């Protein structure tokens, strides 16, 4: 048996751009996910980070076939989920569940909590009999820190953190092996975030779960993840064990993100280098040629970056990066340009970004085309 529960190869999700009142025609595609390879090890957590609009959520949904992939393979425990017929996919879905970003909109407001959780249990025929079903639901609620008193209540009667716990209990109800958690704590207060993150870690140990955690909060990802993947404009640009990627990021985009994370020591914070990115995130409907990050990269070299798309390659044990010049950048022999110099090369004004640094760009939430990522 493979150590990997999920193996993704060449995954692409392209949304057609249509135009015309009478004759509807396709004039292009939004390349939300464009050639992603990744592995999810059994019983571990893979953290996926990147700017809003980079395709993180689309990738997570494509793994479960909530969105149909355009191309590529998703092997779940050796079976290509992307090619399964409807009936077999339904049976396989018992082993794959999702925790959605907005806990309120993902719960049916017309159903009480007992009915919401019971729906999945009955759909997969896991428990027969009302008494056994109720006992199972009570056990699930207790596992996520809620009491049996919640059974008869409705989603709007709970706080955001409690609703997220209900969403987690619903995902656990069918005894899955894989859970895709899409921004599971982004809508919660900081104190509640810590409770939910700790809960996920505990449940992983208790139920031997494999997690794909999609987030933009680098601190949360570092705390919960064994492996971290950084995504930019539909593709992975770096992947490494959590401690390695935070200690020494190798891709210029990852370095910019990490440089924006505040350090609690004011002396270190004042001395350390901040990498400012110029320009806006390009549209996934018309991504740049060559390296997709070259339009904003301080280390850009026109002879390769503008024309040749870099492939993920192994630089250190377990550390993959998609950059032509990762070695000289890490060694310090290739020096970065200033934001003004990058903007001048690209023929844009730095003022167009409002002086945003990498952290602000990460949270800006730009919509690229009319597609919900």
| DSSP assignment string, 262-289 | --S-HHHHHHS---PPPSPPPPTTSPPS
Q: What residues make up the domain containing 284?
A: 244-363
Phi, psi of 279 (to 5 degrees): 80, 175
Note the pLDDT of residue 351.
40
First to last CA, the chain: 34
| Rounded Cα gap, residues 136 and 147, in angstroms | 13
What percent helix, strand, coil does the chain show, rounded to 5?
35, 20, 40
In a domain, 300, yes or no: yes
253 and 161 inside one domain: no
**CB of 33 closer than 8 Å to CB of 71:** no
Q: How many distinct structural domains can be found in the chain? A: 2
Q: Where does a domain end: 175, 203, 219?
A: 175
Task: Assess whether 168 and 254 both reside in one domain.
Answer: no
In a domain, 348, yes or no: yes
Q: Is residue 324 part of a domain?
A: yes
Query: Residue 336: inside a domain, yes or no?
Result: yes
d(CA 258, CA 276): 11
CB 224 within 8 A of CB 241: no
Write out the chain's pLDDT in tens, 373 residues.
578 999 999 999 999 998 877 778 888 899 999 999 999 999 999 999 988 889 999 999 999 999 999 999 999 999 999 899 988 998 898 899 999 988 888 899 999 999 999 888 888 877 665 566 788 889 889 888 899 999 999 999 999 889 989 999 999 988 899 999 998 888 777 878 888 888 899 999 988 999 999 988 888 888 899 999 999 999 999 999 999 999 899 999 999 888 877 777 677 667 777 777 777 788 899 999 999 999 999 999 988 999 999 999 999 999 999 999 999 999 989 988 876 777 777 665 444 333 334 333 334 333 333 333 3
Tell whether 216 is covered by a domain. Answer: no
Last residue of a domain, one of 175, 209, 230: 175
In a domain, 302, yes or no: yes
Q: Is 14 helix (H, G, I), strand (E, B) or coil?
A: strand
pLDDT at 359 (0 to 100): 39
In a domain, 55, yes or no: no
């Amino acid at each position: 048996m493979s150590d990997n529960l999920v193996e993704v190869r060449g995954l692409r999700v392209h949304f057609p751009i249509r135009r015309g009142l009478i004759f509807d025609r396709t004039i292009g595609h939004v390349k939300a996910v464009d050639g992603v390879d990744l592995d999810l090890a059994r019983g571990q957590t893979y953290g996926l980070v990147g700017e809003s609009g980079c395709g993180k959520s689309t990738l997570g949904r494509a793994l479960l076939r909530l969105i149909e992939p355009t191309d590529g393979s998703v092997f779940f425990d050796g079976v290509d989920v992307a090619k399964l017929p409807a009936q077999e996919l339904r049976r396989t879905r018992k082993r794959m569940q999702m925790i959605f970003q907005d806990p309120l909109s993902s719960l049916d407001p017309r159903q009480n909590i007992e009915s919401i959780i019971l729906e999945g249990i009955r759909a997969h025929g896991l428990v027969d009999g009302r008494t056994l079903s109720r006992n199972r639901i009570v056990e699930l609620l207790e596992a996520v820190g809620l009491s049996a008193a919640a059974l008869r209540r409705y989603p709007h009667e709970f706080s955001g953190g409690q609703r997220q716990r209900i969403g987690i209990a619903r995902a656990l109800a069918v005894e899955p092996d894989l859970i895709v958690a899409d921004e599971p704590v982004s809508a919660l207060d900081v104190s509640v975030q810590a409770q939910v993150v700790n809960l996920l870690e505990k449940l992983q140990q208790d139920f031997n779960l494999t997690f794909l955690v999609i987030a933009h909060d680098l601190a949360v990802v570092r705390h919960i993840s064994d492996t971290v993947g950084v995504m930019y404009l539909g593709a992975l640009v770096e992947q490494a064990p959590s401690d390695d990627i935070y200690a020494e990021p190798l891709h210029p985009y990852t370095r910019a993100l990490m440089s924006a994370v505040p350090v609690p020591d004011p002396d270190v914070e004042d001395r350390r280098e901040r990498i400012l990115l110029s320009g806006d995130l390009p549209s996934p409907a018309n991504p740049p040629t060559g390296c997709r990050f070259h339009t904003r990269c301080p280390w850009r070299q026109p002879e390769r970056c503008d024309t040749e798309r870099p492939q993920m390659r192994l630089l250190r044990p377990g550390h993959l990066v998609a950059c032509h010049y990762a070695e000289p950048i890490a060694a310090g022999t290739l020096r970065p340009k200033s934001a003004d110099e990058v903007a001048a090369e690209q023929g844009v004004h730095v003022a167009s970004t409002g002086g945003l640094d990498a952290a602000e760009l990460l949270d800006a939430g730009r919509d690229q085309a009319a597609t919900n990522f």
